[in-house]
Amino acid sequence: MTTPEENPRRERAAALLAIALCLIAIGMSAELPIWLGIAIYTEQALALILGCALGILYVGLGRGPVGPILAAVSVTASAVLAWRYPELASDFYGLRFEAMAFGLVLLPLLIEGVRRRTGFGLVAVTLVFIVYALIADLVPGTLRGRAMDFVGLFSFLTVDNMALFGLPLNISALVVVAFVLFGQLLLRAGGSDWFTDLATSMMGRSRGGSAKIAVMASALFGSISGSAVSNVASTGVITIPLMKKSGFDARSAGAFEAVASTGGQLMPPIMGAAAFLMAELLNTSYGEIILAALIPAFLFYVAVLIQADFESAKRGIAPVPRDQIKPIGQVLRQGWHFILPFAVLIVALFEFNLSASEAALLAVIVLFVLGRFFDYEGRRLKLRDLVPALAETGKTSVEIVLVGAVAGLIIGILENTGLSFGLTFLLVKIGAGSLAPLLVLTAIICIILGMGMPTTGIYLLVAVLAVPPLVELGVEPIAAHMFVLYFGLMSMISPPVAIAAFTAAAISGARPMDTAMTSMRLGWAAFIVPFLFIKSPALLMQGDWIHILLDTTTAVAGIWLVSAALMGWLRKPLGPVARLVAITAGAALLIPPGGEGLWIAVNGAGFAAGAALVIIEFRKARNAAS
């Protein structure tokens, strides 16, 4: 049993480890060892960061001494591994039994930590890969690979920079942590309140303005939060009660917030840090990723805003009272200093070609300096805010670090056993006759693998497993990466683990599963748009402007008609026949023409049917009104 005095001690220990994790990550991102003339392997810093993450996780585990003991073992083993790493790396075969010993201590602690944070799904996948690595030569058929002995496997997974200390952990620790710190400081400076006020000024005067405020605020703040769940928790406490007060039921209020917060992870310029991970994996520029993400994110939020408008019309929900809406000029004058860090971030990335981590740290410095001198609604950054911000950043990063480490293990096994080639070959065979079955299977796999994980973890895992077969079948690499990111994130609102929807339900007071099902209906566009940009690279800003504008315009029109059919409303309630016409015409318009004669004809038919329906329904509404 723990005494009351022990709980504060554990909290202080967790805070110290979190600050250490954050400082090590920031120091490496800023290349501090180089500035100080200290020779250090990146893997040594990663080992220390991993040890801190495991220590934070275990230090508060249950009652009694078990948690602190596991935390002490994690931190000690990681520190010793960091100290011994140069010798282990230079004489791997001679010291492989020592490397295996480190693996036998750290890998079980890592896997158990992931189980406690994300559930058993990712752990099961990891264990299957580890078992496969030991018996790969016994697996029949296409998936047969090169087996590894026990000593070789655990020493390789622990020390090799293509495994535990590979690219996923490197990016998670040295890039994402800087953006988490940026989000924490923005939150403490009143940034979420400013985003909400800005959204209120822009959307509050239209019908159902409360739902549109939630959509806009969550889109703005969600891009930097790195987690749909934390986005729901931070903005939802304001927007969900506002929606309920204006007339939305608890289920719809929670669903709008969950969908908008999930979409924030797809929203440029930061995309919950996924944009920087994608740029690293694709070995391309950050600018190209942002351009590719613009139109899909626009289509997603157009669909949500249209449904918010139709839902408001159905329920007769009025705009937000004028006395609750600040003039947009006032909001911009009071919070102009929040814009500057984002401008610095973009200029540093595009104009000065700084790395993502360096640009993020520069934005952090600008935000902190401005936040010290300018306030928003009485909230101003103080020096004493820095320590809790560092501590909260470290704690928030635990899950990201652990998932990145596990993703590295899976990548290492895939590459070392040859399983990556076998899986690619098998999935390519599935899609040999038609790409559609492979896309559907990939979408389902991504939703299952993404359950309960943060944005960066979802993307790293599904990109490793699901992208190569799509590329092999001719899908553009950037389209394949966007496809798996979208469907990985849809796990946030898809039962049975719809964690963003469940978090919103806890705030709204609705039933969790009802909120999840409504979230899927409101977020339907995110399940369709990825298939569209697979067929039409123009929706990813690939190609000439004529095709980009044409495909985007037809997609918007299609989304409007399908949303009208799903909501059963245009200018007034739609009957069964009108809803059938609307969804058929909308589906026809959603198919990207791509310059092909047949699909252009389908688009034309959809446009004609949709236009006829709109004219008829608007005339009926006008006649009824007169």
Least reliable range by pLDDT among 214-223, 246-255, 606-615: 214-223
- pLDDT category at 226 given cuts 50, 70, 90 is low
Of residues 245, 72, 179, the one with CA closest to residue 393: 179
Mind listing the pLDDT tens digit for each residue in 74-104? 999 999 999 999 999 999 889 999 999 999 9
Cα separations in angstroms, 13 against 46, 62, 177? 20, 15, 20
Integer Cα distance of 297 and 219 in angstroms: 10
243/338 same-domain check: yes
| Residue-level pLDDT at 623 | 77
Checking if the pLDDT of 17 tops 80, the result is: yes
138 or 268, which is more confident? 138
Whether 485 maps to a domain, the answer reads: yes
| Residue-level pLDDT at 132 | 94
CB 216 within 8 A of CB 202: yes
Whether 71 maps to a domain, the answer reads: no
Checking if the pLDDT of 5 tops 60, the result is: no
| Residue-level pLDDT at 267 | 84
| Residue-level pLDDT at 626 | 67
Whether 291 maps to a domain, the answer reads: yes
| Residue-level pLDDT at 76 | 96
Percent of the chain with pLDDT over 90: 36
240/337 same-domain check: yes
What average pLDDT does the segment 391-411 reach?
88
Whether 567 maps to a domain, the answer reads: yes
Whether 361 maps to a domain, the answer reads: no
Mind listing the pLDDT tens digit for each residue in 511-560? 988 999 999 999 999 999 999 999 888 899 988 888 889 889 999 999 99
CB 558 within 8 A of CB 590: yes
Mind listing the pLDDT tens digit for each residue in 100-121? 999 999 999 999 998 888 778 7
With 0.85 as the threshold, say if the pTM is over it.
Answer: no
Percent of the chain with pLDDT over 70: 95
What average pLDDT does the segment 33-55 reach?
92
623/583 same-domain check: yes
| Residue-level pLDDT at 455 | 67
475/551 same-domain check: no
What average pLDDT does the segment 608-619 reach?
89
Checking if the pLDDT of 307 tops 60, the result is: yes
Q: Domain range spanning residue 253?
A: 190-350+367-375+434-537
CB atoms within 10 A of CB 142: 14
Domain count, the chain: 2
| Residue-level pLDDT at 454 | 66
**DSSP character for 320?**
P
What average pLDDT does the segment 418-422 reach?
84
| Residue-level pLDDT at 467 | 86
474/593 same-domain check: no
- pLDDT category at 170 given cuts 50, 70, 90 is confident
| Residue-level pLDDT at 299 | 93
CA atoms within 13 A on the CB side of 498: 27
Q: Measured between alpha carbons, how far apart are the two ends of the chain, in Å?
A: 75
Whether 584 maps to a domain, the answer reads: yes
Checking if the pLDDT of 600 tops 80, the result is: no
What average pLDDT does the segment 589-608 reach?
78
CB atoms within 10 A of CB 86: 14
| Residue-level pLDDT at 79 | 96
200/324 same-domain check: yes
The chain-wide mean pLDDT, for the chain, equals 86
Return the structure tokens found at 572: 């007034």
What average pLDDT does the segment 417-425 reach?
84
Across the chain, how many H-helices and E-strands are there? 29, 0
Contacts of 286 (CB under 8 A, 6+ apart): 275, 276, 279, 349, 350, 356
246/342 same-domain check: yes
- The residue from 537, 552, 580 where one domain ends is 537
Of residues 238, 236, 241, 271, the one with CA closest to residue 257: 236
Q: Which amino acid is at 235?
A: T
- The residue from 537, 557, 574 where one domain ends is 537
What average pLDDT does the segment 484-491 reach?
88
- The residue from 470, 504, 537 where one domain ends is 537
Integer Cα distance of 255 and 245 in angstroms: 15
| Residue-level pLDDT at 43 | 94
447/531 same-domain check: yes
453/505 same-domain check: yes
Contacts of 357 (CB under 8 A, 6+ apart): 29, 30, 174, 175, 178
Mind listing the pLDDT tens digit for each residue in 467-476? 888 888 888 9
Return the structure tokens found at 362: 């520069």
CB atoms within 10 A of CB 577: 9
- pLDDT category at 478 given cuts 50, 70, 90 is very high
| Residue-level pLDDT at 276 | 74
495/594 same-domain check: no
The 3-state DSSP class for residue 573 equals strand
Return the structure tokens found at 258: 């969950």
Mind listing the pLDDT tens digit for each residue in 180-220? 888 889 888 988 788 888 888 888 888 878 888 888 888 87
Quick one: CA dihedral 527, 531, 532, 533, positive or negative? positive
| Residue-level pLDDT at 273 | 67
Whether 63 maps to a domain, the answer reads: no
Whether 601 maps to a domain, the answer reads: yes
Integer Cα distance of 328 and 500 in angstroms: 30
Cα separations in angstroms, 562 against 113, 294, 307, 436, 443? 43, 21, 10, 21, 21
523/467 same-domain check: yes
446/298 same-domain check: yes
